[in-house]
Structure 1
Amino acid sequence: MIKSVNCTSFKIERLQTDNGAEFKNTFLSTFLEGCGNIHETSIPYEHHQNGNIEWMDCSISEISQTMLIASCLPKELWPYAFCHAAWIFNRTMHGNDTIAPYEVIAKNKPSLLLLCVFGSKGYLYDHLFQKDLSEKAIFGYHLGEAPHSKGWLFWIPDRKKVLKGASVKFDKNCFIQRIPASTSSLSLIQASSIFDGSMILAIEKQDKLVSSVNVSHDPIHVTPINYREALASAEANEWNIAIEEELTSIN
Structure 2
Amino acid sequence: MIVYKTQEEIELIRQSAQILGKAHAEVAKMIQPGVSTIALDKRAEEFIRDNKGKPSFKGYNSFPASLCISVNDAVVHGIPDKYELKEGDIISIDCGVFLNGFHSDSAYTYPIGEVSADIRKLLKVTKESLDIGIQHALAGSRVGDISYSIQKHVEKNGFSVIRELVGHGVGRSLHESPEVPNFGKRGRGAKLKEGLVIAIEPMVNLGKRNVVQSNDGWTIKTSDRSPSAHYEHTVAINNGKCDVLTTFEYIEEVFKI
TM-score (normalised: structure 2): 0.30
Q: Answer 1 or 2: higher relative contact order, Cα 8 Å, separation at least 6.
A: 2
Structure number having the greater helix percentage:
1
Structure number having the greater strand percentage:
2
TM-score (normalised: structure 1): 0.30
